[in-house]
Amino acid sequence: MTLVAVGLSYGALSQASGFPLWQTVMLAALAIGGAAELTFVGVVAAGGAPILAVLGGLLVNSRNFAFGLSIGEYAPRGVRQYLAAHLANDETAAFARPGADRTERWQRFVLMAVVLFPAWVGGAALGQLLGSVVDADRLGLDAAFPVILFCLVVQDLRSPFLGVTAAGGALLAVAATPVLPLGLGAVASLLALIPAAAFLKVRARRRRRPDGGDGRATAGGAA
């Protein structure tokens, strides 16, 4: 329902901006990003060059790089892996995350993808056809997105390391949203992964070091 509501908003905006139905549907099916489509349509509607609209959409959708890394751990190799890359986004990655093993995660990913794709594309088409008749913003369903995503990943947040990293990313997104274009606040949150990755690298190095103290103690005992 939430996906349909957001799709209605995108479709209505696309129709008001002069895009034909086939372009609205094609963009929704190829990008599957929400904010990317809205950014593209918004830039073109404001008189911006199409190439700038494309670059803006790609930049907003760059957050899917992190989702692709996560999904690549359990997606089967071959054609299905390429299809998974196309359907990688916030919802599919988050819904698959709680799976107990690779097989269950893949099954959860496919289930969400099967629900998400027609809901998003269908909502966009319906919004285009209805135009300004339906104001999806009044439904208030856009607020359900962050709540749903939080519920899907709350199990991972019980880890102190992941919880701190997620909190840092959330703070970065909140701080960046007022000063960055639409959708880039979420991209800015990925900067929290830099110190997190550095911490993991340092910890891994320390674990690989031989424990000189134990070695000396053992040698002394043998003497």
Task: Summarize the confidence of residues 3-26 as an average pLDDT.
Answer: 85
More confident call, 43 vs 156? 43
Q: Say what the pLDDT of residue 39 is.
A: 79
> Mean pLDDT of all residues in the chain?
79
Q: Which of 38-47, 89-98, 162-171 has the lowest mean pLDDT?
A: 38-47
Q: What is the pLDDT of residues 47-56, one digit of tens each?
A: 777 887 888 7
Q: Amino acid identity, residue 32?
A: I
pLDDT confidence tier of residue 139, bands split at 50, 70 and 90: low
Does the pLDDT value for residue 216 go beyond 50?
Answer: no
Predicted local confidence at residue 28, as pLDDT: 92
Beta carbons within 10 angstroms of residue 194's beta carbon: 10
Higher pLDDT, 16 or 111: 111
178-188 pLDDT tens trace: 887 766 776 77
> At 157, is the secondary structure helix, strand, or coil?
helix
Q: Which has the minimum average pLDDT: 42-46, 52-56, 126-130, 216-220?
A: 216-220
pLDDT value of residue 26: 94
Helix (H) or strand (E) holding 76: none
Higher pLDDT, 216 or 13: 13
pLDDT, tens digit, 9 for 90 and up, residues 15-36: 888 899 999 999 999 988 877 8
Q: Is 160 exposed, middle or buried (0-12, 13-18, 19+ CB in 10 A)?
A: exposed
In the chain, which residue ranges form alpha helices assigned H by DSSP? 2-16, 21-31, 35-45, 50-60, 64-71, 79-86, 90-96, 102-130, 144-153, 160-176, 184-188, 193-208, 212-222
In angstroms, rounded to a whole number, what is the distance separating the alpha carbons of residues 126 and 120? 10
DSSP category for residue 61: G
Residue 176, pLDDT > 80, answer yes
Sketch the domain layout of the chain as residue ranges: 1-145, 155-209
